[in-house]
Structure 1
């Protein structure tokens, strides 16, 4: 019994040592990746708008620009849209500081125990990805995730939650050549964001997860 107890102690000490070593290596790796991350820039976070040309009757005749986008200001974002986006994308958005440890651990546990996969990215990290990195799954690696997290944390120190959410709303691709949720609201419904119904707001908030799958023209039932 005493021999078994000694083995158990050595085994426990070995496990603890491995965990501590893993944490140290992880911290060093994160520090290295963070040091090579791009510099946080408001120009990157903000979205350029199209140049709109109207005729003498105030009728839009041309939309010039690489991306079809019309930005919205914070004071014109309805609270229903805020609630819809955060409930779908990041329900602890107003509580965390760019990185949600609980979400990361939950996603990791789900991915280990289930056939489905979940992402642990916060809304901040999604905005950073849109502003700085490729959205291709093949580019989703440890280095990129570490840099996303670091830039998200830096962004939280520089900008308010309201500003970050506005950046996101203006940045996301909404399908059918539309960038930003105001552009999508006018394209799909012919309305301003503040005039949308709850159902229409919910549709806009969900589209960024899968713009092709949730295309209201080709997949209305979905």
Structure 2
């Protein structure tokens, strides 16, 4: 049967070939849905290792992108075992890089990790106008709104978006993420939480829907 620790370490070491070999063998053995969930959890644990190594300076942005792609590839391989997932959706996250910012690396990594954790993610893309966040959130009441930004100007766009969401009376938790995001910025923007780490961001969202 699948060695979960070996899988975690393989993801952490970015050993794509080994990860795919382990998962292909696993899928061939007709695992149950709970076993497939365990495999995804092991992959997520590997992503946490990647995050730690990135923070230490051992991994770089290119490694983060590769890890995000590897996680997406792993999830896609396991999706048939997981069934439709309709009865296991943890919640809905509306995600986008805010108006004026065109960066999407962090957003895409967070998206992959959120989907692996069972969330339905509505990805609005980059340079997203506040009005689009509001419109989509209205159509998905009770959702989580995730806003990403790398440029300093993103903070103002986040603040504008949060103000419009609140003015529209939308029931949504709001998390912001990206390089310029700090505790002070979060308070200034009016968001519920902030993160500069995709794995931590997913944990926050999981606590909100628990």
Using the size of structure 2 for normalisation, the TM-score is: 0.25
Using the size of structure 1 for normalisation, the TM-score is: 0.24
Larger CA Rg, structure 1 vs 2: 1
Higher strand share: 2
